[in-house]
Amino acid sequence: MTICQPRPLFDANASSGGSLGDLPEWDLSDLYTAEDAPELTRDMEWLEQACASFATDHQGKLADLDADGMLGCVQRYERIDTIGGRIMSFAGLRYYQNTTDGERAKFFSDCQDKITTLTTPLVFYTLEINRLPDEVLDGWFAANADLARYKPVFDRLRAMRPHQLSDELEQFLHDQSVVGAAAWNKLFDETIAGLSFDVNGEELNIEGTLNLLTEPDRDQREAGARELARVFGDNIKLFARVHNTLAKEKSVEDKWRNMPTPQTGRHLSNHVEPEVVEALRNAVVDAYPKLSHRYYALKAKWLGLDTLEVWDRNAPLPTEDPKTVDWAEARRMVMDAYGDFDPEMAKIAEPFFDKGWIDAEVKPGKAPGAFAHPTVTEVHPYVMLNYLGKPRDVMTLAHELGHGVHQVLAADQGELLASTPLTLAETASVFGEMLTFRKLLDNAKTKAERKTLLAGKVEDMINTVVRQIAFYDFECKLHAARAEGELTPEDINALWMSVQAESLGPVFNFMEGYETFWAYIPHFVHSPFYVYAYAFGDGLVNALYAVYEEGDADFQAKYFDMLKAGGSKHHKELLAPFGLDASDPKFWDKGLSMISGFIDELEAMED
């Protein structure tokens, strides 16, 4: 099991202006009390025995099982997945608390290595399932309702049938993974966490420097942007090497697997059709002029500028009160919004604050950004923030807490069915943000306060939709170019800039050095083509929220049912009760019209 991806660092905000109160820290003891805990040793020993005996009992024999026997096999596999996920969750979360700590990094790597070795005997399982005739599986499902519940798991496995390699090659890829992509991922993480920036004599990490881009003082924003460019430029050869290597490795594996495009693997894992993603991408790109181009032209007017520099993109409005929101107030704001939607949602969210399920403070070496990690279904999720007290940090709390609520509700599906495809994984998080935003908007006391809230939401939505689709286009170009040969840093820089002017609009001027800003986006490294999931989730939630506003009396019940389904249903099945269909190109226009409507309201305020 992997750590969920952090939100894009372009959404990072704020520098604290005073005490934020007592910021919570993770209590990981619900997983294990320490790296040398006897329970962890016991579980690692159990895992070794369980993997070996599973292979002894079932390898080469799956086709001979009856439905009851296959159910027992699946349940054994699920238990192995749970124990392995528990160990890696503990090791990973400790590591992300301080990625520059050598002991934590070693422990994480050692666990990764050992579990990769221990689970090698399981490689046969998926391969044999995919060699079975359809009628065998159909017979199993007809004979045993408990096994039929796992049909979505089998469907996702068998979607990979055309791309499956020989048993020996699959085992080789499994074994070498720890020195392949995983090792390059770790190099990237440790390099990013270890970068040091000097802004006006103050030494900052990457999170603190990015946060300067939202400061009211324009000179401070510029200083932050130029220092980011300097440090990225100094390290650009390393980042280019990471991207070249990972893109080539992916290309090699895709070739062997007969993947028609670099994006195919992501679409398969997301259980979404390529044409649906293409419809989303095209709808967003077509909407650039009426969304980002129009909004940023409006923002330039507010700031009294003819053109915007990159350091103005996330600048606060001149009328914005640069207030700091302490932790207690942030908690109250989000919990009130959740509770107003449904008291049950607030009840599910409450333990995150009270039981050490959130790590909020910015600390040296801590991974940047924010994420929610589900761990395993028999424990609970953990949320990581880098909370610095700006209003947008409150939105990040609402976002990650939405993930947490979703993960809690889906846990009853069990380890193999709880995990949601990325395209649907952002649903509860973005919906939680929308609830919090609408609550704040309803409580706005003045026109200026309403304008500030609307502008902040539009910027967040542009970051989530427009910017992520631009990121997706950059990745598509990067992988296509890498297929033709090695890319120099200058080649990658040019690809990055080719999507920036198109997505942000003609009002922007791009400083020298901005061409390197692709270097620190973690999604390009950890999860190629992940980023469209953010746009998918935002568009989906905008459409969902429109149904909610129309007054569907059963909306809350339908919404909770959708979250409880986890990964057990396709997006068509999940959205049908709301009268929505993501495969309809007009679906995306409906979602984008909400952003456009907010910009309409902002323009009307100018009259």
Mean pLDDT of the chain: 91
Which one is predicted more confidently, 319 or 463? 463
- Nearest CA to 171 among 111, 128, 122? 122
**Dihedral sign, CA of 554, 566, 396, 283?**
negative
Band (pLDDT 50/70/90 cuts) for residue 424 is confident
Domain containing 41 equals 31-179
Per the CB < 8 A criterion, the answer to whether 194 and 234 are in contact is: no
Q: What is the mean pLDDT of residues 394-420?
A: 95
pLDDT over 70, % of the chain: 97
Q: Hey, what long-range contacts does 473-480 have (CB within 8 A, 24 or more apart)?
A: 473/281, 473/285, 473/499, 474/498, 474/499, 474/518, 474/524, 475/524, 475/528, 475/529, 475/531, 476/262, 476/263, 476/529, 478/243, 478/247, 478/524, 479/247, 479/250, 479/251, 479/262, 479/528, 480/262
**Contacting residues for 124 by C-beta, under 8 A, at least 6 apart:** 55, 58, 59, 60, 167
Residue at 60 is within a domain: yes
| Element containing residue 607 per DSSP (H, E) | none
> Which residues share a beta bridge with 197?
204
Residue 66 in any domain: the answer is: yes
CA angle (117, 123, 128) in 5-degree steps: 165
Torsion region of 356: left, alpha or beta (phi above 0 gives left; psi -120 to 50 gives alpha)? left
- What integer pLDDT is reported at residue 607 of this predicted model? 60
pLDDT digits over 249-281, tens only? 999 999 999 999 999 999 988 888 999 999 999
Please, are residues 412 and 564 in contact by the beta-carbon 8 Å criterion?
Answer: yes
pLDDT confidence bin for 9, thresholds 50/70/90: very low
- 147 in any annotated domain: yes
Describe the crossing of helices 532-549 and 555-564 by its angle, rounded to 10 degrees. 150
Is the pLDDT at 11 greater than 60, yes or no? no
Cα distance between residue 367 and residue 193, in whole Å: 6
- Number of domains within the chain: 1
State the DSSP string of 154-181. Answer: HHHHHTTGGG---HHHHHHHHHHGGGTH
pLDDT confidence band for 589 (50 / 70 / 90): confident
Q: What confidence category does residue 71 fall into, taking pLDDT thresholds of 50, 70 and 90? A: very high
Encode pLDDT of 141-200 as tens digits: 999 999 999 999 999 888 888 888 787 888 888 777 777 788 899 899 999 989 999 999
- In this predicted structure, what is the pLDDT of residue 113? 93
Looking at the chain, the whole-number percentage of residues with pLDDT higher than 90 is 75
Residue 158 counted as domain residue? yes
The gap from C-alpha 282 to its chain's centroid, in whole angstroms, comes to: 22
Angle at 233 between CA 227 and CA 234, to 5 degrees: 95
Q: Is the pLDDT of residue 435 over 60?
A: yes
Integer Cα distance of 209 and 600 in angstroms: 33
pLDDT-wise least confident of 317-321, 392-396, 454-458: 317-321
Read off the pLDDT of each residue in 537-555 and give the average, rounded to a whole number. 89
| 3 pLDDT more than 50 | no
Among 494, 374, 422, 155, smallest CA distance to 263 is for 422
pLDDT at 53 over 60: yes
- Which amino acid belongs to residue 528? P
Q: What is the DSSP track for 558-581?
A: HHHHHHHTTTSS-HHHHHGGGT--
Predicted model pTM: 0.81
Query: Is it the case that residue 18 has pLDDT exceeding 80?
Result: no
pLDDT in tens, 356-381: 999 999 998 998 889 999 999 999 99
Neighbours of 443 (CB within 10 A): 12
Question: Which SS3 state, helix, strand or coil, does residue 27 take?
Answer: coil
Yes or no: say if 208 and 15 are a contact pair by the CB < 8 Å rule. yes
Residues whose CB is less than 8 angstroms from the CB of residue 425 and which lie 6 or more positions away in sequence, other chains included: 4, 403, 406, 533, 537
**pLDDT at residue 17, rounded to an integer:** 39
Q: Tell me whether residue 165 is in a domain.
A: yes
Nearest CA to 301 among 83, 599, 528?
A: 599
pLDDT digits 0-9 by tens, 468-499? 999 999 999 999 999 999 999 999 999 999 99
Q: What is the pLDDT of residue 163?
A: 82
Return the pLDDT at 251.
95
Residue 4 confidence (pLDDT) above 70: no
Hey, how many other C-beta atoms are within 10 angstroms of the C-beta on 385? Answer: 26
407 near 365, Cβ under 8 Å?
no
Give the pLDDT score at 10. 35
What integer pLDDT is reported at residue 114 of this predicted model?
Answer: 95
Asked whether 436 and 333 are in contact (CB, 8 A), the reply is yes
Does residue 524 come out as left (phi exceeding 0), alpha (psi in the -120 to 50 range) or beta? alpha
Residue 46 belongs to domain with CATH number = 1.20.140.70
